[in-house]
A and B are shown apart, each in its own frame.
Chain A
Amino acid sequence: MTRPRAWIKTLALVSTLAIVVGACSSGTATQAPTAAASTTPSAAAGSTGPAPSASAAAVNACGDAPVTLNVWGGYPEVDAVYKLAGENFKKTHPNVDFTVFSTDLRGFEQKLSTALPSKTAGDVVVRTTNFLSRFIDQGLLAPLPDDLKTFVTGGAYDPAIVADNTYANKNWGVPLFIGTAGIYYNTDMFTKAGITAPPTTMDEIIADAKKLAVVDASGSLVTSGLSLRLSGQGSGVAEKFWILLLQSGRTLIKETSPGKWQADFNGPEGVKLFQMYVDLLKANIDSLNIDSDAKAFETKATAMFLREAWVIPEIATKAPALVGHYQTISPPVGSLVTSESMFVPAASPNAACAWEFVRFLKEQEQQISMVTISGWLPARKDLDLTAFLAANPTYAGFFTHPAGFKLTYTPPIAEFDEIETKLATHLVAAYADFANLAGQPDKIQTLLNTWADETNSILKTNGHFGG
């Protein structure tokens, strides 16, 4: 008769324990973000002299009293960069300590949505100007000091990146790191197929892909010549289509007048690109059934694919056998660029010192450490890369671009995600139907027009359509 009671008692004990533990972990969540606090720096090896732009005025900006700067970011892999920069900064500003808070991107966005209005955000916040625009509207982010404004528009950054960080006709964030696409290719497979030089035009890419595809005895594809993004959830399929579309000079949606956009992908270049997709599928150069993207490249299931620079450190850890057998090359005409920039919240008590750190982070040494430590690319284009590229030749595709190479940034409109995702859904369905669409440019044009109509109607619903 006491059995049920004892059972309840143990359950109560376990649950009390669980609640205590759960409360402890929720307690740390509701406190101000702390996360990995970097304290006094250990003897930093390879330290250089003080930051070039440091001056008497700069040292004064951080005063003499102990100051702790909170750096917030949405990419945990960049934490080590901030920490190293903090250690180097401390050499000229010994009274400044750093804490770094980061979480994954979505969580970071949600965190900012509550912390910025409640004035509990950090001292330096790193995110896209596009995302932070809603907080700029509410006056929650400090405007750029004049010297930084001059610097940002002074040619250190690609015009697309500067445009990406312009909101309401003003420059806002100082770009810190960017993501662009590069073409990865397997040098062994190239040699085996008798290709002596990497492709420098879209036509060459397609021609090479046809030579690189490998089928097995039963005719099914084993190695794809070019790995295309053909299925999956989200907007990735449309994004990859967009990058290839840029090579022909067109884009997904184009700005016809300030703030007004229109679908641009259903022109003859869009049709030609879509035909390329279905033709490659029909000719069994790529297949819906085979692995794709980074996984395929790392398991030698493809000879070429496009992706950002993070694959390079991943290959070093997850596919070391591939190291030395692959190289990267820039896309022929252009690429998408996303830029993460540094902001200082208006309510930060250490604003002057925070801006000082921002000035420090944009310098050569810190920018190079961005790519060597996190794999993200530095935002500045006026860096001295000779030493870096000599030591890391596989990054060539991300730094060395042909003349006239053009970067395109994401349209700063809230509904763009919906446009991209819905286009991705259509593309996926159409790729699966490739047998019926190969060699049918009229059908393809009709399809693209239907999708463009949908894109334009989404733009209209949000008041951003301009004919």
Chain B
Amino acid sequence: MNSPLAAVRRVPRRTWIRYRFVFLVLAPVMALFIYLRIVPAGQALLMSLFDWGLIKPADHFVGLDNYVNLLSDDNFRLAFMNTTFFAVATTVISVVLALALAALLARFVTGRIGGALELLYFAPVLVSMVPVTLGWREIFNYQHGILNSALGLVGISRQAWLSDPTMALVGVVILSVWKQVGYNMIILIVGMRAIPHVFHEAAAVDGASAWQQFRWITMPLLAPVTLFVVVITTISAYNVFTQVYVLASDVQGAPGQLVRVLVYDIFENGFRFFKMGYASAEAMYLFAVILVLTVIQFRFLRGSAE
């Protein structure tokens, strides 16, 4: 007998009790999870195929029109370029800096001095983004910001950090690297300290210099951790929003170029223009990019770890 009913009868009673327990525990959690994650994900995909407004939902099916129109939308293209530049710059700079810091602080400068220094670099990570962005907005101020004054001391002319579109992008990169470096550094330090000493000692005996030890022993063994740091930095960089929004949102007068990034464009399309289908399609593009980058990074760094 192979009917489903027979299969059900074959299951022992204890397993049924266990199944009931699983169900009672998992059902509410899964219900919440499906409502808050799966349903929105599916809806985002569905909405992207419609011309969907806020007050009048599901206007009409437009198929892939949203996706096609986005490709010729100047705002989307600018957002894509800005976000990509931002993500690449922030990731490269913050990871390289973090590696350098970790290399020094994991083994070379340790103890209480090392711990205190680690704390200094970690401090920006602790505080939330809005207060520090407000602080940086004043630091970047053309006339009475301290960055331009400091640059003036070394003979560099005043830069238009907030009023020139390109410099504004550079400014956001600086702010984000500053915020991110400490986090990456801490994780890399833990990763480095987990590498057994014997490898370095053996290499030292063989006459390898500190740099060679770092390049040929530490780095390869650290690859999984480095991969992790690169991936999370990239993903969070592609999702940048808060800094950009706060830097450009003074309604009363401080200059603030809006650095148009993807999430801001989605936000504007969805919640200013109420083109929710269009915004969902844009979100799908963002997701696709992140997915592709993550896969590439996994392949690349895992390959180099072999």
Q: Is B255 in contact with chain A by the CB < 8 A criterion?
A: yes
Whether B164 and A232, one on each chain, are in contact in the complex, defined by CB atoms closer than 8 angstroms, is no
Q: Given A417-B273, A429-B165, verify A233-B248 contact (CB < 8 Å).
A: yes
Q: Could you tell me if A290 and B255 are in contact, using CB atoms closer than 8 angstroms?
A: yes
The residue on B at minimum CB distance from A216 is B143
Q: Is B239 an interface residue (CB 8 A)?
A: no
Residue B201, interface by CB 8 Å: no
Report the nearest A residue to B157, measured CB to CB: A218
Contact A231 B252, CB 8 Å, known A220-B143, A220-B158, A428-B257:
no
A437 within 8 A of partner (CB):
no
| B163 is an interface residue with CB less than 8 A from chain A | yes
B253 touches A291 (CB 8 A): yes
Given A289-B143, A421-B272, A230 and B75 touching (CB < 8 A)? no
Residue of B nearest to A454 (CB): B74
| Docked-complex contact A422 and B252, CB < 8 angstroms | no
- Is A425 in the interface zone, CB < 8 Å from B? yes
Q: Pick the contact of A289 from B75, B255, B272 — CB < 8 Å?
A: B255
Q: Are A232 and B142 in contact (CB under 8 A)?
A: no
12 other A-B residue contacts (CB within 8 Å) besides A134-B55, A231-B256, A288-B160: A113-B55, A220-B158, A227-B253, A230-B255, A232-B251, A287-B163, A289-B143, A289-B163, A289-B255, A291-B143, A418-B273, A432-B257
Min C-beta distance of A419 to chain B, whole Å: 10
Given A289-B142, A429-B165; A421-B268 close (CB under 8 Å): yes
Contact of A421 with B273 at beta-carbon distance under 8 Å, contacts A231-B258, A288-B163, A428-B258 already known? yes
How distant is B96 from chain A, measured CB to nearest CB, in Å?
31
A113-134 vs B, Cβ < 8 Å mask (1 yes, 0 no): 1000000000000000000001
Q: Are B143 and A232 in contact (CB under 8 A)?
A: no
Cβ contacts under 8 Å, A294 to chain B: 252-253
Does residue A460 face the partner (Cβ distance < 8 Å to B)? no
A113 to B57, CA, bound (A): 14
Is B255 touching A291 in the complex (CB atoms < 8 A)?
A: yes
CB <8 Å contact, A425 and B164: no
The answer to whether A296 touches B268 (Cβ under 8 A) is no
B261-297 CB mask vs A (1 if < 8 Å, else 0) is: 0001000100011110000000000000000000000
Please tell me if the beta carbons of A417 and B272 are within 8 angstroms of each other in the complex: yes
A236 touches B268 (CB 8 A): no
Given A220-B158, A233-B248, A422-B75: A292 and B258 interface contact (C-beta under 8 Å): no
A232: chain B residues within 8 A (beta carbon): 248-251, 255-256, 258
Q: Which residue of A lies closest to B164 (CB)?
A: A432
Give the complex CA separation of A425 and B76 in angstroms. Answer: 12
Tell whether A111 is near chain B: CB-to-CB under 8 Å.
Answer: no
Question: Is B254 in contact with A291, judged by CB distance below 8 angstroms?
Answer: yes
Q: Provide the A266-297 mask, 1 if CB < 8 A to any CB of B, else 0.
A: 00000000000000000000011111111110
Q: Which residues of A contact B256 (CB under 8 A)?
A: 231-233
Asked if A296 and B273 sit within 8 Å, CB to CB, the answer is no
Q: How far does the alpha carbon of A293 sit from the alpha carbon of B255 in the complex, in Å?
A: 10
**Chain A, range 410-431, C-beta contacts under 8 Å to B:** 414-415, 417-418, 421-422, 425, 428-429
Contact yes or no, A296 B75, CB < 8 A: no
Min Cβ gap B298→A in Å is 35
Residues from chain B with a CB closer than 8 A to the CB of A418 are: 272-273, 275
Nearest chain B residue, comparing its CB with the CB of A235: B272
Give CA–CA (A236, B258) in the complex, Å.
13
Knowing A289-B255, A428-B258, the reply to whether A231 touches B160 (Cβ < 8 A) is no
Q: Does B85 have its Cβ within 8 Å of any Cβ on chain A?
A: no
Assembled-state Cα–Cα distance A417/B273 (Å) = 7
CA distance A222 to B258 in the complex (A): 23
Residues of A within 8 A of B (CB): 113, 134, 220, 222, 227, 230-234, 236, 287-296, 414-415, 417-418, 421-422, 425, 428-429, 432
Q: How far is the CB of B199 from chain A (nearest CB, A)?
A: 36
Whether B253 lies near A292 (C-beta < 8 A) is: yes
Q: Mark B225-259, 1 if CB is under 8 A from A, else 0.
A: 00000000000000000000100111111111110
Which single residue of chain A is at the shortest CB-CB distance from B53? A414
| Beta-carbon contact of B163 and A231 below 8 Å | yes
Q: In whole Å, how far is B23's beta carbon from the nearest beta carbon of chain A? A: 24
CB-defined contacts of B260 to chain A, threshold 8 Å: 425
Report the separation of the CA atoms of residues A421 and B260 in the bound assembly, to the nearest whole angstrom: 13
- Tell me which residues across on chain A come within 8 A of B254, comparing CB atoms: 291-292, 295
Q: Name the B residues within 8 Å of A414 (CB-CB).
A: 274
Give Cα distance in the complex from A350 to B254, angstroms: 47
Chain B 188-220 per-residue mask, 1 if CB under 8 angstroms from chain A, else 0:
000000000000000000000000000000000
Point out the residues of chain B lying under 8 angstroms from A287, CB to CB: 163
Q: Tell me the bound Cα distance from A14 to B255 in angstroms.
A: 43
Are the C-beta atoms of B249 and A233 separated by less than 8 Å? yes
A432 in contact with B165 (CB, 8 Å): yes
Cβ contacts under 8 Å, B257 to chain A: 231, 428, 432
Closest 6 CB pairs of A and B: A295-B253, A289-B142, A288-B163, A293-B253, A418-B273, A295-B252
| Minimum Cβ distance to chain B for residue A462 (Å) | 11
Sample 25 A-B pairs with CB under 8 A, ordered by A number.
Answer: A134-B55, A220-B158, A227-B253, A231-B163, A231-B255, A231-B256, A232-B248, A232-B249, A233-B245, A236-B251, A287-B163, A288-B163, A288-B255, A289-B158, A289-B255, A291-B143, A293-B251, A293-B253, A294-B252, A295-B250, A295-B253, A414-B274, A421-B273, A425-B75, A432-B163
Nearest-CB distance from B115 to chain A (Å)?
A: 25
Report Cα–Cα, A43/B257, bound state, in Å.
52
Give the distance to chain B from A296, nearest Cβ to Cβ, in Å: 5
| Docked pose: A414 CA to B56 CA in angstroms | 12
Residues of B within 8 A of A292 (CB): 253-255
- Chain A residues whose C-beta falls within 8 Å of the C-beta of B275 in the assembled complex: 418
Complex Cα gap A414–B59 (Å): 15
Q: Give min CB distance, A461 to chain B, whole Å.
A: 10
Within the complex, what minimum Cβ distance (angstroms) separates B124 from chain A? 25
CA gap between A48 and B248 in the complex, in Å = 48
Chain B 161-183 interface residues, beta-carbon cutoff 8 Å to A = 162-165
Q: Least Cβ distance of A91 to chain B in Å?
A: 40
A325 to chain B, nearest CB (A): 18
Q: Which residues of A contact B245 (CB under 8 A)?
A: 233
In the complex the two chains form, what is the Cα distance from A235 to B123 in whole Å? Answer: 37
Contacts of B163 in A (CB 8 A): 230-231, 287-289, 432
Chain B residues positioned under 8 Å from A231 (CB to CB): 162-163, 248, 255-258
Identify the closest chain A residue to B248 (Cβ). A233
* A292 CA to B55 CA, complexed, in Å: 36
Closest to B268 in A: A421
